[in-house]
Copies of this chain bind each other. A is one copy, B any other.
Amino acid sequence: MLAAPAPHLPIVFDLLGILTSSAAGALTGVRKGLDLVGVLVLAAVTGLGGGVLRDLMIGAVPVAMLTDWRYLASATLAAAAVLIAQHPLILGRRVPMVDRVRRRIPLSTAFLVADSATLGCFAVSGTAKALDYGLAVIPAALMGVVTAVGGGVVRDVLVNEVPTVLRRELYAVPALVGALIVGTTNQLDPAATALAFVAAAVTMGLRLLAVRNDWHARLPAP
């Protein structure tokens, strides 16, 4: 007899998503020249914002980040890692390995990878948690998308930019594809965990392909 794997899905993917999403938020803060507190706040808001929106809308209160210490810890850890990589002097002396990593990976690439991984992880965790709360497949998939893009939207609004999800790049669609994979395969319990990883990978891959190939959903000229 197997223990049901489904209930753990949301938490594992939530924590992974918080790591990558907070890293993306911290990188945005560094790019915008924010100070130490600003970077930490932006990282936390980006990492935790999507999940908070989802928890509020499905009625999972107090929201998970207030009852499970690993949520805040993940956000803090990711922000600290970015700060150390971007500002190796924080440790008091330069660390050659960190310096090398930083020279190899441009800020924009690090951001893109973290942001795409966020889409994948949160599309899975958001949909799975909404299903656990009894929502139907379509609304649950919508909650997956909200979790996936929510933190980034709040981040962009705070630094006074029009959110990526509204601009000329395929962003919400990969999240929706991943969310629908989780939503429609949720009955297949034993395979669910494996399928969740596939869904996250598909989402992340689609997003990276959309950026690399400059895929748009342009409207015909009116």
Contact = CB atoms under 8 A, between A and B. Distances in A.
B216 A66 contact: no
Interface in A164-186: 165-168, 170-173
A16 interface: no
Nearest to A88: B222
A61 interface: yes
Contacts of A208: none
Please give the count of copies of this chain that the complex contains: 3
A37 interface: yes
A206 interface: no
A30 to B, nearest CB: 8
A38 B153 CA distance: 13
A162 interface: yes
Nearest to A166: B38
A219 B54 CA distance: 33
Interface residues of A, number: 61
Contacts of A57: 52, 56, 61-63, 66
Interface stretch (A1-9, A108-116, A132-140, A194-202): A132-140
A204 interface: no
A219 B139 contact: no
Interface string A151-167: 00100011111110111
Interface string A18-42: 0000000000011000111111011
A136 B133 CA distance: 24
A172 B219 contact: no
Nearest to A163: B158
Contacts of A163: 158
A95 to B, nearest CB: 13
A84 to B, nearest CB: 11
Given A35-B217, A66-B142, 15 more contacts: A35-B168, A36-B219, A37-B217, A39-B219, A41-B166, A56-B56, A57-B62, A59-B61, A62-B133, A69-B136, A69-B138, A83-B219, A87-B222, A89-B222, A160-B162
